[in-house]
Structure formats: C-alpha cells, structure tokens
Structure 1
Amino acid sequence: MRKGLTFLRGVVAATVFGLTVPAYAEQTANTVIAKVNGEEITLGHMIVARSKLPAQYQSLPDDVLFNALLDQLIQQTTLKQQLHGDVPELVRLSVEHEKRSLLASTVIETIMENAQSEDAIREAYDARYSTGDGGDEFNASHILLETEEAAIDIKEQLDAGADFASLAKESSTGPSGPNGGALGWFQNGRMVPEFEAAVTEMRAGEVSDPVQTEFGWHVIKLHERRKLEAPDFDEVREEIAQELAVQAVEDRVNQLTANAMIERSEIEDLDPSALRDMSLIQN
C-alpha cells in the first residue's frame, strides 16, 4: 500500500497554489473543520494527524500543512466509510494495542513528573552528598570465566603466587583479558550489582573469591580505591531527577501489579510460535 501518497500530493498542491486557511474564532479540539457524508473531521483530529507526521513535514508552513492534512483526512474518511462500520480484526486489535500503550504512557509520564519535583531532587541530593563525600572510585582488574570450577582453579593459582595479569591474558574470556584484565577506574553504579558489591567490600591489594554475574564468573583484584568530592547540585540534578523518575515508575508498577487480580490462563500445548501467525487475525 502506498501509504501517505495522497498527503504528499496535497502538500505539493498547497505549496504551488498557496492555499489559505480560514480563521476560526474560539478554536477548540471539537471545532468541526469538515464533514464527510455527515461524519465530522475536527481540529483535534488534525492536530493529532500533524503530530504523527515525520519531522520534515512538521517543519512545513502551517497554511500548507492545514490544507494538505485536511485533504488527507477527507480521503481517508471516504475510504474507511466503504467498510460501512465493519472493523477488521487486525484493525480492532491494533487500535486496542495502541490505546493501551498510549494510556499506560500517559500514566507513566504523570508518575515521572510527580517524582521530579524540585524538593524531591534536592532532598535526594542532600541525602546522598550531605557529608561532602561523592562516593568511592575503584581501580580493579578481573578474570572472567565461564564456570565456577574454572574460577576456583584460577583463585587457587593466584593464592599460590601466580601473576594476575598473566593469568588474565591466558584465561579470561572478557574483552579486558588481553590487557591483563585491567578495568581502570570506575565509580559506583558502573558495574553490575554483584560485581560492585564484591568490590565495595574489598581492600586494596585483595583478590576476591569467585563472583557470579550475568556474564559469568569473576575473580577480581582491587588495586586501589579513593574518595570523590561531592559534585555540585547542578552537575547531577538531571541524573538524580531521572533516577527518581525511574524508581517511582518501578515502585508504582510493582504496587499496581501486586494489588491487581491477575489470572494467567493455563493452555495445554500452546505453541509460542503462534505469535508469528498473522492468519489468526486476518478476517
């Protein structure tokens, strides 16, 4: 289907002939711009249609867009009226999906906005940096292995005096292996939680027992740790605001799902590949 072709033609025609847009007093989303066989096209419909356009079309002059969009909506309305009210299953399900997604996004935006008040951001900043301490920074190396057994073997070799960098070059499956396992300096929040938790408990010069993460098994050597000065509020304001928003959404979603009555159907022999079967909704 050559979607959008009529709109493009409308833009060209409006540009060439310089169509004008009538003035409307006290315009609202319900202002009726046209009727097609009695079916209304409102200013609200046109506003939404414009918001869905690619950026290069949204930058066109308003008078050009107005007439082109109106032509497109009129044409689309005449076409969809040919179904005489019947809604194909694919369309019905697509509309339900889009509506559910948009409504959920609206709630998420509200949660995020409420969580990012100036007082909340300042309170979070004070709680984190009131002592003037910006947290720890670590300089470490690691050897990444696929199994716990291999990690235990490496730890035993290190305890017996083997060179860490040499073993990393020989055995580590991670990208830092060729560099002796060196990770350089990193701050809290830069590593996966299990790795960070292990490093936080270590002293400079120590080698950890095997630590499991989603990437495999790590043997970690902490070379050095140091304190950072607290950053200025303006430097971390956006970061804290984003963290508050993400946490607020996660907490609210968890709360809602915990309180909801959720019934998961148990369907015997349901084949997950049915997700790809578009014929099920083609009617």
Structure 2
Amino acid sequence: MRLSQLAAAALLTSATFLPLHGHAADEADPVVATVAGVEIHASELTLAESDLDPQFAQMPAEQRRVAALAAVIDIKTLARKAEAEKLDQTDEFKKLMTFQRDRALHNALFRATVVDPVSDADIKARYDKEIAATPPEEEINARHILLKTEEEARAVIAELDGGKDFAELAKEKSTGPSAAQGGELGFFTKGRMVPEFEAVAFTLETGDYAREPVKTQFGWHVIKVEERRQTAPPEFEAVADQVRQLVMRERYGDLIRAARAETEIEVLDPDLKTSYETLSQQQQQ
C-alpha cells in the first residue's frame, strides 16, 4: 500500500512549509522527530518518500519531505497502538512479516547483483550486439491516390501519363485520409501495408508510379514511390533505457535459474505443480 494518509494529503492545500530540525547530532542520519520517544531518522523519510502516492511526485522537494514525515508519524502512531492490542503476535501478522522479509531480501540481492553492477559500458555493448544482429531493411516513401472504382483509377493514371502532378491529383481526387498531404504515406517497410498494396509498391523504381491500379479492401489505389532507403538503427541515447531494462531482465533470469538449480523446490499441489513446471520450461526457453 502506498503512503497516502490524510495528514500527508492535507499538506497539498497548505501555503507554508516550515523546515525540519533534528533533535540529535547524528550528521549521517539525524533524528527529525520522535513518536512516544521512538526516533524518526532522516533515512526513514527517504524510504517513505519513495513509497508516497504518485500524486506527490509533482510536489516541491520540501513539501514531499513534510508529506513523508506526516506519513511516518501516522505509521508509527498506529503501529504503537497495534502493538498495544497485540496485533503483532497474531499468526497472520507473523506470516506477513516473513513474506515481507523474504521480499526485502530478494530486492536487496536483485539490486546488489543485477541493478548496481550494470554499467554504461554494459549497455553500450548490448546495444552494439543488437544492432549487429539486426540487418537493415529496405523502406520506401510512397504516395497514393485512393479511388472508389477501377475506372476512376485508370482515369487518374491517364492524367499522370499526360504530365499531371501526382500530389496535386491526390489532393483533388483521393478519398483517403492522406489526400491533404498529397497522398504521402511516409516511409514504411514490408509488412506495414496490406499485401496487395506493398506487393506493387516495392517493385516500383524511385520516382515511378504504377501503370495499373491496385485493388485492396479500401478501394482502388494509384501508387507512386518517392524515395527508397535502408532503415537506420535507433540512436543509442534514444534506446539506452530500454537496453538497460533488457540487460537487467536477462541477468535477473540468470540469477533466478542459478538459484533454483541449487535449491530443492517441491510443489505439492498437483494443479499448481503442472502449471509451475510449464512456466519454468517457458522461462528456460
């Protein structure tokens, strides 16, 4: 559950936020408040800030800090009351704490062995590997004039044969959404257009138009190719974050597979056993 206590939310409407002053002299992790004598350290505010409701992300830093303080005070106040009512001694609570501890350790190991070790050099190396394994594709920049009937399409081709400008005819006669742009479709690779359209488009030379109309589910097309080129790979800076996620996913997968291989795992529920084994096989592949 994210921290979205009423006390923190109320701070959104407050006009003035006073600076916080710790009661202890610990410069590394000062005490910023106490609740019934229990110290609240600056490090706890940092943890709380990372778990605040997303609405607080747009707040100024000092306001987020006060919101985090209010949340921590509320948590410790109610935690003290829960302890007084012995809720920390219930089986449900103990099971929850065991799960939370395991998850926290999982996250700590993930950060220490997967997230933190990933360097910029690792990301660049993986980017280069992906680019090398992805050959460039041919793409074309084409225009088309979409018409309702074959007769209309052939009449347009006759006008083109007579020297009329393709873009002007598209603006005048095309029924497609690209008419206002002179029929321009921009660059596209194979597989982006309906098969009948691209089967003809990719056979045309640069600057040439099809002498036969092309029928698709949308109507009759007159097609012209303006330019041909090879696709360029994305710039490293544009995809660096995606590549980083890819590297971390792979390293996490390696970590999990190694840990499972050295750990005895037995699923007792028959239905879950079958499903888990299927999932594990898929993950291995």
How does the TM-score come out when normalised to structure 2?
Answer: 0.47
Higher relative contact order (CA 8 A, sep 6+): 1
How does the TM-score come out when normalised to structure 1?
Answer: 0.47
- Rg: which structure is higher? 2
